[in-house]
Chain A
Amino acid sequence: MTDPKELRAQGATPLVEMEDISISFGGIKAVDGVSVDLHPGEVVGLLGHNGAGKSTLIKVLSGAYQMDAGEIRINGNKVEITNPRDARSHNIETIYQTLALADNLDAASNLFLGRELVTPMGLVNDAAMEAECRKIMGRLNPNFRKFNVPVSALSGGQRQSVAIARAVYFNAKILIMDEPTAALGPHETQMVAELIQQLKAAGIGIFLIDHDVHAVMELCDRASVMKNGQLVGTVDIDDVTDDDLLSMIILGKKPEKAAA
């Protein structure tokens, strides 16, 4: 896989381009003319204070919200994403900040929700789904044991593991992770970091929303910072320090030297 940095330098067509995206809720502009892009094998961090509009922006890409204005291109082609099914058909998978799990169902049912494995007769194949679920959880969170209880009986971190499993199981090309490690312990967080490296190496493009600047510095190739619904700027991680990013988040100004 070619290095995403080289791809960008060559002017290759990005995997995802979100251009001039705007969306407002009852007069409040939650996202205001924001443009971001993503190349294969690249991790782009989205940073910003609470309520900056990060989740809203990526929900436009995942089909949860419909934008008021703007354009989304995938591999250079304009696409219409009007619901989550459209997003899935473009191989976009999302880990939502709220996790979006059906609390009354078990881990396997949540993992396959909307894409159940079925028997030749068209009936859902719970045994096969549970077996697959055990496999993927074995990779993501080897301590996970609670396969036969509703996910409401799981801890916050265990629930998060289920949400992560759901996003990575189905061969995503574009992965959106909205604070994927918010509820995880240090060991599990480290495993997610390794997972991101693996997915990146496999050529998957990842939007990563994270409040931890250190994690962003470590995992991302670029970072886009938002404030009050607007884009402050996008920087190359190699060109900035932790403090540069922090001041972008807090002051809402792009450092002079680091134009990406």
Chain B
Amino acid sequence: MTATTHQPIDSQNKRGLFQQLELDMRLLGMIGAFIILCIGFNILTDGRFLTPRNIFNLTIQTVSVAIMASGMVFVIVTRHIDLSVGALLATCSAVMAMLQTEILPDMLGMGLNHPLTWIITVAVGLGVGTLIGAFHGWMIGYLTIPAFIVTLGGFLVWRNVAWYLTSGQTKGPLDSTFMMFGGTNGTLGTTFSWVLGLLAAGAALFALYNSRRSKLAHDFPVKPLWAEAVMGAVISGSILGFVWILNSYTIPTRRLQRMFEAKGEVMPEGLVVGYGLPISVLILIAVAVVMTLVARRTRLGRYIFATGGNPDAAELSGINTRKLTVKIFALMGFLCALSAVVASARLANHSNDIGTLDELRVIAAAVIGGTALSGGFGTIYGAILGALIMQSLQSGMAMVGVDAPFQNIVVGSVLVAAVFIDIVYRKRLGAK
């Protein structure tokens, strides 16, 4: 009893290749399914699926749902649900559209494309989204109305608030700076993209090194050095490969000519310019990094997962679970507003049906990505990969020429099948 020796640490022998790499088998399965899907579609479309152009488009189409899916992970992990994200996106988009097309230019007399328009618009939009989300969270946490009901009500309310705000009309064109958040209108260009890619790869390697050093400092087991090197190579390789692909998608000559004409210059003969990383994708990457950091390395994240695992225990441990609920839904609202920026900027206008069915896509992405509806489990990268898989499936089928009704039938079936496979997998692993 008096001895204060440390607990011995399990030795490293007798472990399989995958265990040595400490890879998440679930993640590997998803990546595997995604690769098979991509190769399959590529064969069916005679190589049109895996072109830089299509990958570029797929990426920017995924961003909006993926941003919201990362927030949905926290919502579902704490055993709640949010059925209102698509409608909330519409309301935020409507508010921002009215601001930049009517209120700021006409009523406040700032004129079209004033340099401050986009900042004011985005700030107000994010504020509105966060407030509405916090209001949902307050009703769920403090008034103890089930999240299902609050957000089902919110689904009807916000969809129609958006309608009312714009009188159901399409509002556009949006502010020219604002539209840079959409995708093709706002890309970094190849040089910046390479610089950023190299920085990101460097940061990833540094993070790996740091985590190893901190484990060694506490005498915890570490992976063999070769495994660490393989991981580092794969991660930095993927980052740079992704940049390379997006950089290879070049701006069409016609469009490039018009861009030069707009500046009153003549385009040099044979000029080729790549798009590079879209700003919207950078936003998604930033969201993914920050949300992962929140989930794993902050108290907020720890409390979210603890509450999902056992709400009573969390409360008894002194966690204010009501306030936590407000924070989670406020964050969800913020991310809906961010998605509204990306989605409306991509479409170059606000239309009345923006975000329709997004709640289902977002929930499906989170669930396909391994977020358990029973609470306590889920990852940000899983949800984003889930969103990417859903979008690839949809675009792939469209390219192959599958009829619209069949597309949705397939997507729905895949959702159910994915969850079933997950249940089987968890059972075999002995986890809950």
Contact = CB atoms under 8 A, between A and B. Distances in A.
A139 B1 contact: yes
Contacts of B218: 127-128, 130-131
Given A116-B302, A139-B1, A147 B7 contact: yes
B261 interface: no
A194 B218 CA distance: 29
B376 A103 contact: yes
B299 A102 contact: no
A123 B316 contact: no
B214 A100 contact: no
A100 B312 contact: yes
Interface stretch (B60-68, B114-122, B154-162, B317-325): B317-325
Nearest to A87: B318
Contacts of A122: 298
Interface stretch (B234-242, B245-253, B303-311): B303-311
B6 A138 contact: yes
A101 interface: yes
Contacts of B7: 134, 137-138, 142, 144-145, 147
A48 to B, nearest CB: 22
Interface string B319-334: 1100000000000000
Given A135-B4, A138-B5, A105 B309 contact: yes
B220 interface: yes
B299 A116 contact: yes
B6 A109 contact: no
Given A114-B319, A130-B220, A142 B3 contact: yes
A138 B4 contact: yes
Contact of A102 (B301, B309, B320): B309
A77 interface: no
Contacts, number: 115
A195 interface: yes
B320 A100 contact: no
B314 interface: yes
A113 B377 contact: no
A104 B376 contact: yes
Interface in B394-432: 430-432
Contacts of B258: none
B314 A102 contact: yes
B318 A85 contact: yes
Given A102-B306, A105-B306, A137-B7, A123 B297 contact: yes
A207 interface: no
B1 A198 contact: yes
A128 B218 CA distance: 8
Given A127-B220, A131-B218, A113 B306 contact: yes
B215 A105 contact: no
Interface residues on A, range: 35 or more
A113 B4 contact: no
B315 interface: yes
A203 interface: no
Contacts of A99: 313
A204 B209 CA distance: 44
B269 interface: no
B10 interface: yes
Interface in B1-37: 1-8, 10
A98 interface: yes
A254 to B, nearest CB: 33
B107 interface: no
Contact of A100 (B5, B305, B316, B376): B316
Contacts of B317: 84, 100, 102, 113-114
15 contacts: A62-B316, A83-B320, A84-B317, A85-B318, A100-B317, A101-B310, A101-B313, A105-B302, A105-B306, A105-B309, A124-B299, A124-B302, A137-B7, A138-B4, A198-B1
Interface of A: 62, 64, 83-85, 88, 94, 96, 98-105, 109, 113-116, 118, 122-124, 127-128, 130-131, 134-135, 137-139, 142, 144-145, 147, 150, 152-153, 191, 194-195, 198
Given A85-B320, A128-B218, A153-B430, 13 more contacts: A83-B320, A84-B316, A85-B318, A98-B312, A100-B310, A100-B317, A102-B310, A105-B306, A109-B302, A127-B215, A138-B5, A139-B3, A194-B1
